[in-house]
């Protein structure tokens, strides 16, 4: 037998045995904890990662709470929509039977929707929060079409097909954005554990929601009028939960919106905020306007729109850089080299911001050369990933 030792934690006593193959075996010797504490600890073991809360990033509890509420309200809506679809098809099943029939109705158009959604995958990397919210808005739109389908049974196939097309796009979008959101909380390389416990919590919320949905669909919401009264409220709860869930995620990657805020804060305050500090300042629905305090930079989405003569001039001016800056009266357009890193983009963004305040480009370069090392150091120490810049819809150039 290997090395043996015992540990007492509060009212529990455990025995640990170190085996020759390097594994550690634990055995509970006695447990005098109150039943309430046992239940709470059991719940945490089942639905939260090992080592919680130290093993996860800031905001994970808020994210999990709203994620559960999101899945709970969505599950109730799914019962309403499925029952409405089969009513529109001329059937009168019970709410429980609706779950079986839904498989037949969902397959075809949902697969097409998933193919459509997969074409937008590159854009989701830079704005996973925004795309996740878009997915749930689209999913609720599809659910709404399904719920109103009994009002127009003659158009059943068209309405049901369009609804499931929307749901197919929403499903692939939601799944594609799941990984970067979970990664933001993985402090100790425990991504798989986070994913597994997150899915367990979602399953629990879905099962509870299905139960409540079946109960409502059998009583107060049997009629279309009842569903039209309750469904909008559930949709509001669902979308609000998604919004708060996304706001709680501290993404540490650089995209256009976050880079502009980081540059503006550093120039104005002399410090870089952490991902947890900046998360509630991100715009998740409304369009993001150029940040005037960070040079009003726009990333060029279509290089072909810039005249070739202008490109040659910019290449000569920024010949040692992996970016080109095209200064306009109200904004600055940045063209990225195909090998530009996150640090290159940060340098270009700083240069654009300083150029708007200095008399000449050479003066702006002098200021950037002094500030950049400290700025990059603060970015890394505050937890930002500077090796990459994510902007899925932008074109990259070769020169």
pLDDT tens, 248-303?
A: 999 999 999 999 999 999 999 999 999 999 999 999 998 899 999 999 999 987 77
- Flag whether pLDDT at 376 surpasses 90: yes
Q: Considering the entire predicted model, what is its pTM?
A: 0.79
Structure tokens at 120: 């937008």
pLDDT of residue 292: 92
Distance CA 109, CA 145 (A): 14
pLDDT of residue 394: 62
pLDDT of residue 190: 87
Distance CA 184, CA 259 (A): 17
pLDDT tens, 190-231?
A: 889 998 998 899 999 989 998 999 889 888 888 889 999 999
Structure tokens at 100: 């079986």
Neighbours of 4 (CB within 10 A): 10
375 closest CA partner among 336, 346, 341? 346
Q: Return the ∠ at Cα 172 (arms to 142 and 58), rounded to 5°.
A: 105
Distance CA 105, CA 310 (A): 55
164 closest CA partner among 62, 241, 78? 78
b/e burial code for range 218-254 (CB count within 10 A of at least 16 → b): eeebeebeebeebbeebbebbbebbbbbbbbbbbbbb
Beta pairing class for 4-9 and 12-18: antiparallel
- Flag whether pLDDT at 338 surpasses 90: no
Q: How confident is the model at residue 152 (pLDDT cuts 50, 70, 90)?
A: confident
Distance CA 41, CA 28 (A): 14
pLDDT tens, 7-23?
A: 555 555 555 566 665 55
pLDDT of residue 189: 84
In order of start, what are the domains of the chain with their CATH numbers? 4-47 (no CATH), 60-247 (1.20.1250), 253-397 (no CATH)
pLDDT tens, 294-311?
A: 999 999 877 767 777 888
Q: Please report, rounded to a whole number, the percentage of residues in the chain having pLDDT higher than 90.
A: 42
Distance CA 277, CA 263 (A): 14
SS (H, E, C) the chain: CCCEEEEEECCEEEEEEECCCCCEEEEEEEECCCHHHHHHHHHHHHHCCCCCCCCECCCHHHHHHHHHHHHHHHHHHHHHHHHHHHHHCCCCCCHHHHHHHHHHHHHHHHHHHHHHHHCCHHHHCCCHHHHHHHHHHHHHHHHHHHHHHHHCHHHHHHHHHHHHHHHHHHHHHHHHHHHHHHHCCECCCCHHHHHHHHHHHHHHHHHHHHHHHHHHHCCCCCCHHHHHHHHHHHHHHHHHHHHHHHHCCCCCEECHHHHHHHHHHHHHHCCCCCHHHHHHHCCCCCCCCCCHHHCCEEECCCHHHCCHHHHHHHHHHCCCCCEEEEECCCCEEEEEECCCCHHHHHHHHHHHHHHCCCCCHHHHHHHHHHHHHHHHHHHHHCCCEEEEECCCCCCEECC
φ/ψ bin of 289: left (φ > 0), alpha (ψ from -120 to 50), beta (otherwise) = beta
């Amino acid at each position: 037998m290997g090395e043996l030792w015992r540990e007492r934690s509060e009212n529990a006593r455990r025995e640990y045995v170190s085996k020759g193959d390097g594994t550690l075996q634990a055995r509970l010797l006695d447990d005098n904890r109150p039943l309430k504490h046992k239940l709470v600890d059991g719940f945490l073991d089942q639905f939260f990662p090992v080592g919680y809360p130290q093993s996860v990033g800031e905001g994970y509890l808020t994210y999990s709470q709203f994620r559960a509420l999101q899945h709970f309200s969505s599950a109730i809506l799914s019962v309403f929509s499925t029952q409405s679809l089969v009513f529109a098809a001329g059937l009168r099943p019970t709410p429980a039977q609706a779950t079986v029939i839904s498989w037949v109705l969902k397959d075809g158009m949902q697969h097409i929707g998933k193919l459509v959604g997969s074409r937008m995958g590159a854009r989701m990397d830079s704005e996973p929060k925004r795309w996740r919210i878009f997915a749930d808005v689209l999913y609720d739109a599809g659910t709404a079409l399904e719920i109103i389908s009994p009002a127009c049974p003659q158009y059943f196939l068209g309405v049901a097909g369009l609804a499931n097309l929307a749901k197919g796009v929403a499903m692939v979008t939601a799944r594609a954005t799941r990984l970067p959101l979970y990664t933001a909380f993985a402090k100790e390389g425990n991504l798989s554990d986070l994913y597994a416990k997150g899915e367990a919590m979602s399953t629990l919320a879905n099962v509870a929601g299905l139960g409540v949905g079946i109960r409502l669909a059998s009583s107060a919401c049997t009629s279309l009028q009842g569903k039209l009264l309750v469904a909008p409220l559930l949709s509001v709860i669902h979308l609000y939960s998604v919004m708060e869930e996304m706001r709680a995620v501290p993404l540490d990657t650089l995209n256009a919106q976050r880079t502009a805020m980081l540059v503006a804060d550093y120039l104005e305050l002399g410090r870089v905020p952490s991902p947890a500090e900046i998360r509630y300042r991100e715009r998740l629905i409304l369009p993001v306007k150029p940040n005037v305090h960070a040079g009003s930079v726009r990333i060029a989405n279509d290089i072909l729109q810039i005249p070739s003569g202008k490109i040659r001039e910019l290449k000569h001016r920024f010949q040692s850089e992996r970016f080109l800056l095209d200064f306009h009266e109200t904004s600055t357009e940045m063209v990225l080299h195909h090998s530009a890193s996150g640090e290159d983009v940060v340098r270009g963004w700083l240069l654009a911001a300083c150029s708007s305040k200095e008399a000449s480009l050479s003066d702006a370069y002098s200021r950037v050369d002094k500030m950049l090392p400290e700025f990059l150091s603060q970015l890394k120490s505050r937890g930002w990933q500077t090796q990459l810049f994510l902007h899925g819809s932008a074109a990259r150039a070769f020169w």
